[in-house]
Amino acid sequence: MIYNEEFETLPREALEALQLKRLKQVVQRVYYTVGFYRRAFDQAGVQPENLKTLDDLKRFPFTGKQDLRENYPFGLFAVPMSSIVRLHASSGTTGRATVVGYTQRDIDTWSELMARCFAAAGLTKNDMIHNAYGYGLFTGGLGAHYGAERLGASVIPISGGNTKRQITILQDFGPTAICCTPSYALNLAEQGKAMGVDMRALKLRVGIFGAEPWSEEMRREIESALNLTALNIYGLSEIMGPGVSMECLEGRQGMHIAEDHFLVETINPDTGEVLPPGETGELVFTTITKEAFPLVRYRTRDISRLIPEPCRCGRTHHRMDRIMGRSDDMLIIRGVNVFPSQIEAVLVGIEGIEPHYQLIVDRIDNLDTIEVQVEVSDELFSNADEVKVLQNMERRIVKDIKDYLGISAKVKLVEPKSLQRFEGKATRVQDKRRI
């Protein structure tokens, strides 16, 4: 089902006319209301009047995470605090958090976009949604919550954590859909199994997973463990929160970007040059309807590619491929670019090991080293009285990583359930290099 037939199926020409009209308004507005943008535009020698076509956007400067930090907490807001009805913040793993604000109209837009996402997953008001995204300053929980209510579905605001209770509620309430991070979905499946629950017999029909990069292999793993259709959702608090783009049930390949609200570009992360649609690069978003916290050309650091080909679902909005990694957590191992998600893709394809892993990167005698610690399955572990079995498995993983990624890794198999579990975003890389 398409939630907003009119806007989600706009012919490209009409969509681009709408985008241009909205984009002109937003560059005007930020120039006259946000000191940071006035200075940045002046410095780059561009004025709002210079924007005559969508293509002119590339003459405007980027906004980076650093700009958000430097204007902490409210320096980039384009409306007075009296017009703000909600604040969220992203966790600051390094340095200050970034704070985002919403007017009532921003919240209404966000709710609609999330309702579109749920509809794209085949959900209606007759569904019950188990929302295990964290509630609070993180945008995941409340973003999904308001969208589910807008759709008219019944929402269980379970939030993250307390996994045993989640499993009991999944059994007793019988929700038909679940939202959480993909790693938490696997965590739920595993703990449910340990509790003796048949996780495939739950009523769950569809899962909406996001907030961290994951792979096709991980999708199959989740689908088989929970007996549901797993769909990918994308968003980031700086741009809105979840619901910036969403996979449709019919296509299941790439996520439709809400292009009537966001303009997307892909750039070469090193040079900033705009790439033709279809080429892999860093995603850059411009918000074209946001009132409280508009951003022009925000560099997400997320690496993906656009899919301009039409989709069988009838939506005309372009799709983006799943996130392949981040340009800033991309690991460079002896000169080779490696994303943790690529290593994950190799691991999930191997029988006998679990998709729980940790990467330890170091530099020894001026050479980069990478160690992949990965859990073996219960079955393999209990049958592994012969050291040979484990050694063969290690050799196979080393070979696969070498074949697929071109790097030599050290592989260490560890006991089932010995690595740290994550209830929110997984942090799988320990980079010990001091360069």
Which spans of this chain sit near Zn ion (rule: CB under 5 A)?
A: 248, 251, 311, 313, 315
Nearer Cβ to Zn ion (119/177): 119
Q: What is the CA radius of gyration of the chain?
A: 22
Rounded distance, CA 379 to CA 148, Å?
Answer: 39
For residue 3, the minimal CB distance to Zn ion (Å) is 13
Q: What is the DSSP letter of 63?
A: B
User: Residue 246 or 409: which CB sits closer to Zn ion?
Assistant: 246
Least distance to Zn ion from the beta carbon of 308, Å?
Answer: 13
DSSP output for 108-164? HHHHHHHHHHHHHTT--TT-EEEE-SPPSSSHHHHHHHHHHHHHT-EEE---S--HH
Nearer to Zn ion, 134 or 251 (CB): 251
Residue 97 or 249: the one with the smaller Cβ distance to Zn ion is: 249
96 token code pair: 């200050």
Q: Smallest gap, in angstroms, from Cβ of residue 356 to Zn ion?
A: 32
Shortest Cβ 315–Zn ion spacing (Å): 5
From its phi and psi, is residue 70 left (phi > 0), alpha (psi between -120 and 50) or beta? alpha
In angstroms, what is the minimal distance from the CB of 278 to Zn ion? 17
Please, which residue, 231 or 311, has the CB nearer to Zn ion?
311
**Cβ atoms 258, 242 nearer than 8 A:** no
Between the alpha carbon of residue 120 and those of residues 143, 233, 249, 255, the distances in Å are 16, 10, 6, 10
d(CA 103, CA 319): 27
Helix axis angle, 216-226 to 340-348, nearest 10°: 50
Measured from the CB atom, the residue of 213 and 251 that comes closer to Zn ion is 251
Nearer to Zn ion, 246 or 370 (CB): 246
Q: Which residues pair with 100 in a beta bridge?
A: 88
Residue (of 98, 145, 103, 101) closest to 301 by Cα position? 98
